[in-house]
Amino acid sequence: MGSPSLSGTAQPITEKLDLTTRLAYGTGEIAGAIPSSTTALFLIFFLTNVAGLSPMLAGSAMFLGKVWDALSDPVIGWLSDHTQSPLGRRYPWMLGGAIPLAIACILCWQVPPINSQWGLFAYYVAASVLAYSAFTCVMLPFSALAAELTQGYDERITLISFKSAFSIGGSIFALAMAQILFTQVADPEQQYQLLGLGSAVLVILAVLGCVAGTYKRYRLVQKHRPQMATATTIRLWQQVRIAASNRPFLWVAGLYLFSWTGVQISVVVLLYFVVDWMGLSKSHFVWMALVVQATAVVTTFLWNWIGRHSEKRTVYFLGAPFILISQLGLFSIQPGQTSWMYGLAVLAGIGTATVYLVPWSMLPDVVDFDELNTGQRREGLFYSSVVFIQKMGIAVAIFVTSQVLDWAGYIATSANEPAVIQPDLALWTIRVIVGPIPAIAIVIGLVFAYYYPITREVHTSILLKLRDQQSLL
């Protein structure tokens, strides 16, 4: 790369990241947390046990939607990096995607009057493509916005702690909404229809609140940051190649891929585990998930404090063992051990908070490292690349999980059919998927965290070198 071409000189911001901005940015996370948590927790169960799709077709529909979701990430990230508007690079995408995302939230939870398995499959693939396209347009620019609202190492982990807390809080709200619907509404189809409608309303409110509350801070940061004259001179494929050569980025991407996939694999089959293995109602699943999320949101601020007094990767080292104990414990417990199940949910929540917090707080530092080497700010490229990798991993995991359940003989039912007793092989498969398999992914994530090279000292050096570069231009 040649010398970075910059105009203007960066001046450090003396104004601290205020509480209003932190709360407003966290509010934006609700637009992603509500639909993503309801999808992760309930969608495959809804498809197999309410819409009546076979596990194979249900998993395939989710897989195709996720693949589309992953493929759209680098494109939207690149486009948002190169967007020019009076509102900046990220806000137009967030505002433009909010209404389509709300519509998709409604469509995904409908059971259309289609009797054919393949007809239902086609409907849910189309609904998923719309949902994930709109989700990417809103949430990827929102995530990249974190690097444009902050400058310092500690400032970023603080902002991301609010993002994580609101993400978990959004999941808690979605679970509470589901719990009310499951207990107060008798018709299973109507339960999920109302869940989709509630999600749609919250998406729009969250995006509007985030944009209104963070725009002042965004303008302040951009005023103190030099303009990147070469920002549009490198093509998309060249930028992806540069991202792949960024060593800190590769370690963050690996950490995010394996840690988040390990958590999501457990989540995909957790409802089956509670209903089919433990013999409990959906209400117990909701309460269990609420325990996980409530514990996570409480411990997020403790992990933030630890991160501000140590290193970001240290936080993950301390949190991951809680997830491992929980996953292996779930594999071991037997029907009737309900108290143990809830105790393991508490441990899972303590560890899961670090999965929300650590990778996202590392990414802005990776962007600074890239700016030092290239002279460009490409938040969208790096955020979209890591999310692409993570989404592809989850897509493959969901697809393989659904095919394995189908192979194990899991029996799908529609909303109007009575519950069935699942075969022993299907029950054993559910236990393996909820425990040992995701535990392996978490262990691999620990390896990536160990090799992540940007410590507090290294990041301080990066910022000093950036200021020295900019002062010479």
Residue 473: band (very low, low, confident or very high) from pLDDT cuts 50, 70, 90 = low
Distance, in Å, from the CA atom of 249 to the CA atom of 366, rounded to the nearest integer, reads: 6
Per-residue confidence (pLDDT) for residue 76, from 0 to 100: 82
Bigger pLDDT: 333 or 232? 333
Residue 238: band (very low, low, confident or very high) from pLDDT cuts 50, 70, 90 = low
Is pLDDT at 221 greater than 90 in this prediction? no
Residue 281: band (very low, low, confident or very high) from pLDDT cuts 50, 70, 90 = confident
Bigger pLDDT: 223 or 253? 253
Buried b (16+ CB within 10 A) or exposed e, 308-332: eeebbbbbbebbbebbbbbbebbbe
Is pLDDT at 15 greater than 80 in this prediction? no
Per-residue confidence (pLDDT) for residue 267, from 0 to 100: 81
Q: Under 8 Å CB-to-CB from 354, ≥6 apart: which residues?
A: 303, 315, 316, 318, 319, 320
Is pLDDT at 248 greater than 90 in this prediction? no
Q: Which of 225, 162, 201, 133 is nearest to 361 (CA)?
A: 162
Question: In the beta sheet, which residues pair with residue 473?
Answer: none
**Mean pLDDT, residues 154-182 taken together:** 81
**Mean pLDDT, residues 391-401 taken together:** 79
Mean pLDDT, the chain, rounded, equals 83
Helix 436-451 × helix 312-332 angle, to 10°: 170
**Mean pLDDT, residues 162-176 taken together:** 82
Per-residue confidence (pLDDT) for residue 2, from 0 to 100: 39
Per-residue confidence (pLDDT) for residue 355, from 0 to 100: 86
Per-residue confidence (pLDDT) for residue 77, from 0 to 100: 76
The model's pTM: 0.68
Distance, in Å, from the CA atom of 250 to the CA atom of 258, rounded to the nearest integer, reads: 12
Per-residue confidence (pLDDT) for residue 310, from 0 to 100: 86
**Mean pLDDT, residues 57-66 taken together:** 86
Bigger pLDDT: 158 or 303? 303
Per-residue confidence (pLDDT) for residue 13, from 0 to 100: 53
Asked if 316 and 445 count as a contact pair (C-beta separation under 8 A), the reply is yes
Is pLDDT at 201 greater than 90 in this prediction? yes
Asked if 330 and 263 count as a contact pair (C-beta separation under 8 A), the reply is no
Is pLDDT at 151 greater than 80 in this prediction? no
Residue 434 CB neighbour total at 10 angstroms: 24
**Mean pLDDT, residues 293-308 taken together:** 85
Per-residue confidence (pLDDT) for residue 7, from 0 to 100: 41
Per-residue confidence (pLDDT) for residue 10, from 0 to 100: 46
Per-residue confidence (pLDDT) for residue 433, from 0 to 100: 92
Is pLDDT at 237 greater than 70 in this prediction? no
Residue 100: band (very low, low, confident or very high) from pLDDT cuts 50, 70, 90 = very high
**Highest-confidence range of 247-251, 336-340, 415-419, 420-424, by mean pLDDT?**
336-340
Per-residue confidence (pLDDT) for residue 229, from 0 to 100: 37
Q: What is the pLDDT of residues 259-270, one digit of tens each?
A: 888 888 888 888
Per-residue confidence (pLDDT) for residue 87, from 0 to 100: 83
Residue 417: band (very low, low, confident or very high) from pLDDT cuts 50, 70, 90 = low
Is pLDDT at 258 greater than 80 in this prediction? yes
- Paired tokens of 60: 């395939």
Q: What is the pLDDT of residues 361-374, one digit of tens each?
A: 888 888 888 888 87
Per-residue confidence (pLDDT) for residue 6, from 0 to 100: 39
**Mean pLDDT, residues 185-206 taken together:** 92
Q: How far apart, in Å, are the Cα atoms of 5 and each of 2, 226, 307?
A: 9, 10, 34
Is pLDDT at 99 greater than 90 in this prediction? yes
Is pLDDT at 157 greater than 70 in this prediction? yes
Distance, in Å, from the CA atom of 275 to the CA atom of 125, rounded to the nearest integer, reads: 26
Q: Which of 17-26, 42-51, 201-210, 393-402 has the lowest mean pLDDT?
A: 393-402
Q: What percent of the chain has pLDDT over 70?
A: 90
The domains located in the chain, with CATH, are 22-471 (1.20.1250.20)
Per-residue confidence (pLDDT) for residue 283, from 0 to 100: 83
Distance, in Å, from the CA atom of 302 to the CA atom of 427, rounded to the nearest integer, reads: 37
Secondary structure string (H, E, C) spanning the chain: CCCCCEECCCCCCCCCCCHHHHHHHHHHHHHHHHHHHHHHHHHHHHHHHCECCCHHHHHHHHHHHHHHHHHHHHHHHHHHHCCCCCCCCCHHHHHHHHHHHHHHHHHCCCCCCCCCHHHHHHHHHHHHHHHHHHHHHHHHHHHHHHHHHCCCHHHHHHHHHHHHHHHHHHHHHHHHHHHHHHHHCCCHHHHHHHHHHHHHHHHHHHHHHHHHHHHHHHHHHHHCCCEECCCCCCCHHHHHHHHHCCHHHHHHHHHHHHHHHHHHHHHHHHHHHHHHHCCCCHHHHHHHHHHHHHHHHHHHHHHHHHHHCCCHHHHHHHHHHHHHHHHHHHHHCCCCCHHHHHHHHHHHHHHHHHHHHHHHHHHHHHHHHHHHHHCCCCHHHHHHHHHHHHHHHHHHHHHHHHHHHHHCCCCCCECCCCCCCCCHHHHHHHHHHHCHHHHHHHHHHHHHHHHCCCCHHHHHHHHHHHHHHHHCC
Per-residue confidence (pLDDT) for residue 396, from 0 to 100: 80
Per-residue confidence (pLDDT) for residue 224, from 0 to 100: 64
Is pLDDT at 418 greater than 70 in this prediction? no
Q: What is the pLDDT of residues 334-362, one digit of tens each?
A: 999 999 999 999 999 999 889 878 887 88
Per-residue confidence (pLDDT) for residue 210, from 0 to 100: 92
Per-residue confidence (pLDDT) for residue 350, from 0 to 100: 94
